[in-house]
Chain A
Amino acid sequence: LKKNAELYPNDSLIREALGLELDCVEPPAVEKVWPAIEATLDRRMRNGFNVQSSWLRYAGIAAAACLLIFLGGFGLFRSFQLSAPRSELGADPESDTVAIDDQETPGVGAAAELETAMENTEDLDLARPKTEELFTAAAEEDIEAGEKQESGTEQDLIEGQEPTQDGRETVTVPVIWPDQLGESYLLAEEIILPAEEEERYKVAIYSGQEYDLLLVGSEMLEENIETFVEKIGEQFNFPIKKIASENGFIFFEAGGYTGLAFKQGQFYRAILAPSETAKKEQLKEIAALFQ
């Protein structure tokens, strides 16, 4: 114990070393950095004033409304794309044989375009899909992964695929989740958990300061939200202990941890916080981002 105590640096030593560490760094000249800060602040304040005090504010609201209508229409179009047969999407009926041979699935092309766009603009947040588009994109990725598995042999396993402890396979997929959820959670990892009967659950792990979050989505049409929650419990090997309904949200405990399930469109989603300190309100705030 005494030896361990000796190893720990005392407070004054840390204080002195830290002071030295911070004071030793010589920053660039003030005149090099300050003008950029001043200019940015001035520009933002000026823009803020204009928007708040003139007709531009109403123009902004109108533009936002147009954007929402456009995004809504686009979302409906994408839903139609996923559910409609190929022949309804303008494909030549005579080429149906070819389409069956290459087993092209509607929506996969769009997912590839999305990936390409994201790769080309890696550093631009603008290239990230909107939150409401996430699970649509997730579904497309699942279809793509499913195709690869169906057409491949054991030796042709998808690159990055690793067996889990219980024999299931996880597939590493390209980034399609947002970098950040709210202010506190950063995207850390994403996986697909193939389940029995060809169901797939797409999971993203977000790391936070206090605890991490697991976001789970599926494009399968479950009977009801309770069934969905039970299946998630099975997927994570967490027995579901308690289910309570509150303002459209279903709270559950999986393995002693708090979870929240909700409906987005016709599909169910869930957020699981593997921490004892997670609060319902925090989970509700995150869920609200997807609605």
Chain B
Amino acid sequence: LEPQQLAKLVETDNNEARRTLFEAYYRRTFAVAYNILRNRESAEDITQDAFIKAFQSIHQLKDSSKFGAWLSVIASNLARNYLKRGKKVVYSDELPEGYHQPETVDTESEALKTLEVERVRRAIKDLSADHYQVIVLQFYHDLKVDEIADLLKISPGTVKSRLFRARQKLAIALERDRDPACHK
């Protein structure tokens, strides 16, 4: 959605506007919840709750251009709380129905890059909810440290620390992935 259109929809706050916002952000919100919970049913419930919570408190959103990031924070917070409250989540290593595999590539360099991206993707999957949350906000929503701190209601220092640790964990996971025999 274009920023102006998004601002208008957020401001309008009627059923039609909500439906448009839902359709625009549904996929990525579900993905954020799913990537934390690794369970489709739980992710569907959390997505539903996240949109309800977001629409009910949309007047609290200071900057309408941050709607997507704000929604991600709501969804990831709900998913994190869901895990912390000890709800039973049946983890599944299998790809869910409709899960796309990356398309095959032709050249060797592209194949190597795809392989590298795939390894990083696998490493991201192993991040904790807290670390995944800041990584999504910085690299997917392109937010700055201060903006992330504002959204998560934590200090910029904590954001920096979580980002640093998240990258550290990615590096460790990648190293392990490069030489799995050493870490068995």
Contacts and interface: CB of A to CB of B under 8 A. Distances in A.
Interface stretch (B2-10, B59-67, B94-102): B94-102
A88 B161 CA distance: 59
The A contact surface, by secondary structure, is helix
Given A18-B124, A33-B48, A26 B97 contact: yes
Contact of B56 (A15, A24, A38, A41): A41
Nearest to A208: B154
Contacts of B96: 25-26
Contacts of B98: 26
B123 to A, nearest CB: 8
Nearest to A184: B153
The B contact surface, by secondary structure, is helix
B81 A41 contact: no
Contact of A18 (B44, B100, B135, B168): B135
Nearest to A4: B171
Interface string A18-48: 1111111111101011101110110010000
A34 B23 CA distance: 9
Interface in B57-82: 81
A61 interface: no
Given A8-B171, A9-B174, A186-B84, A26 B99 contact: yes
Nearest to A21: B121
Contacts of A16: 117, 120
A30 B102 CA distance: 23
A207 to B, nearest CB: 8
A37 B48 contact: yes
B135 A27 contact: no
Interface residues of B, number: 56
A209 B154 contact: yes
B160 interface: no
Contact of B100 (A13, A23, A209): A23
Nearest to A183: B153
Interface of B: 15, 18-19, 22-23, 26-28, 30-32, 34-35, 40, 43-44, 47-48, 51-52, 55-56, 81, 84-85, 87, 96-102, 116-118, 120-121, 123-125, 135-136, 139-140, 152-155, 158, 167-168, 170-171, 174-175
Given A22-B35, A33-B48, A41-B55, 16 more contacts: A9-B174, A16-B117, A19-B140, A20-B118, A22-B28, A24-B31, A24-B100, A24-B101, A25-B30, A25-B99, A27-B44, A30-B23, A41-B18, A41-B52, A209-B154, A210-B154
15 contacts: A7-B174, A8-B171, A14-B120, A16-B120, A25-B27, A25-B99, A26-B96, A26-B100, A27-B26, A28-B30, A28-B44, A30-B26, A41-B56, A209-B152, A210-B158
